[in-house]
A and B are shown apart, each in its own frame.
Chain A
Amino acid sequence: MLALRTALTAFRRSPLLSVLSITTIAFSLFAFGLFGLVALNIRSALQRVEERVEIRAFVAEGTPVETIAAASDEVAKYPQVLKVDVVTQSQALERARTELGEFKDVFESEFLPASLDVKLKPGFRDPASVKAVAAQLKGLEFVDDVRFGEEWIAQLYKLRNIAGAVGGALGLAFMAVAVIIIGATIRMAVLARAKEISIMRLVGATDGFIRRPFLIEGSIKGILGGILALILTYLAMRVLGQYLRFETTFFDRQLAIMGVLFGALMGLLGSLVSVGRHLKRV
């Protein structure tokens, strides 16, 4: 309790420094958060595209409906398969008409083949898995042809891998910068109270006692900085969204809490390291 009171007193005694460290923490987390938001949105955009990965197995003409239905059930049991839709000839025609709008009158008879439209589970949408499932489908005797946009999927995955690698590297860099800045900020706060720490040590305060208020202070700063960063990120997203007319996703609750906790952790670690340095000597 005394530790908490001391920590709060520290805010009151040096409001400027406290505000300064909180904003510094907030801005470094804000940069990290903005980056995270971009990464998140690229990922969700890619995911939406990925959901469209589909294998279409065209059924030979004259195959009995029962055979197709049985095969569909069979395919649905493949571990990679999320869902199988049977598209009859008439449905194929209907789809072609809606997809091609103005040319709808070109299609009159049911000349389009029936097909099994196979959607894959997440995690099996990479080129290799798609290819494997496609090969399996091709093996079915009534299947004429299998289409799955091989090149397109390969491109998508390349993009995804690049985005992942660049994102990871940039994210690490941003995080490192945030950690360094927050560490320096907290160190400044500890330095401002170096005399207090040295007196505490002289009169026989234990290390734990000396450390505690600083840790609490650091964590509070981290949490406040984290919340401020979250608000800034949210505002930035709204403003950008308005200008770019781009549908954006914000961090869900879990990620938001994680961000704030990350701030707290930074504050805590920063204080721990800086106080530790002062505890070694009077």
Chain B
Amino acid sequence: MIRFDKVTKTYPRAAGATALRNVSFRLGKGEFAFLTGPSGAGKSTILKLLYMDERPTSGEVRISGYSSDKIKHREIAVLRRRLGIVFQDFRLLEDRTAEANVAFALEVIGTPRANIPGKVARALTQVGLASKATALPRELSGGEQQRVAFARALVNDPFVLIADEPTGNLDERATRGIFQLLREINASGTAVIMATHDLALVRSTDYRCIELNHGEIVFDSADAPKVEVEMD
């Protein structure tokens, strides 16, 4: 479903900086994987390559039948409709209510208006925020804002949820709540790939963990003999 094949990424502006070097891994359907490693190790680059915000300098990224070699600009929009993406900084529109923020993701891809309220209500319920649908982001706690962002990411029923440090701005309690939400999302069949600094969080689970350093994979628990993770 997701496959990185000898992917190298260098950014032309940062002279000589190689963000990723010869990275290969696969992620199966419904799988959960952490991306860990220090800042600048290449975690975000991997995620950007997944949603085709970046293209590899060499090697190939395959996701849901699309190849980074062949995907057309227009198809990237189509691909992203099937991805859910969340960030550390939530990226909510401050002047709109929680439900309007979620509805926004449907409106801008041309979802028929009649279908929007139902889908929005379902997504907000899924993240446990049904009672705060009409609140503005500033009236919500950090954890709640991130839940709105999750609802927005989930509202189009993605096959994979891409989370870039989703708990980076949250306190421990909110982090646990968000992580619990991620487990539930994964349990319902959506694959999750989550970049995080939080090693305690990673160690508290037996999910797959891919560790990066200086743009290279230095450890992948899927390769370790003890852990059994199904690969496609």
Contact = CB atoms under 8 A, between A and B. Distances in A.
Contacts, number: 50
A13 B95 CA distance: 8
Given A199-B104, A282-B53, A205 B109 contact: yes
B53 A199 contact: no
A195 B90 CA distance: 11
Given A205-B77, A207-B77, A282-B53, A200 B108 contact: yes
B109 A204 contact: yes
B79 A199 contact: no
Interface in B65-86: 73-74, 77-83, 85
A209 interface: yes
Contacts of B231: none
B167 interface: no
Contact of B91 (A198, A207, A210): A198
- Among A204, A206, A281, A282, the one with the most B-chain Cβ atoms within 10 Å of its Cβ is A204
Contacts of B105: 199, 203
B108 A205 contact: yes
Contacts of B104: 199, 203
B53 A209 contact: no
B53 to A, nearest CB: 5
A197 to B, nearest CB: 10
Interface residues of B, number: 23
A143 B2 CA distance: 98
A199 B156 contact: no
Contact of A195 (B79, B82, B91, B109): B91
A2 interface: yes
Nearest to B107: A2
A205 B51 CA distance: 13
B107 A199 contact: no
A196 B108 CA distance: 11
- The interface centre, meaning the residue of A200, A202, A207, A210 with most chain B CB atoms within 10 A of its CB, is A202
Shortest 3 CB-CB distances between A and B: which pairs?
A204-B81, A204-B80, A205-B108
Interface of B: 51, 53, 73-74, 77-83, 85, 91, 93, 95, 104-105, 107-110, 152, 156
26 contacts: A13-B95, A195-B91, A195-B93, A196-B93, A199-B91, A199-B104, A199-B105, A200-B108, A202-B85, A203-B81, A203-B105, A203-B109, A204-B77, A204-B78, A204-B80, A204-B81, A204-B83, A204-B108, A205-B77, A206-B74, A207-B73, A207-B74, A207-B77, A209-B110, A210-B108, A282-B53
Interface of A: 2, 13, 195-196, 198-207, 209-210, 281-282
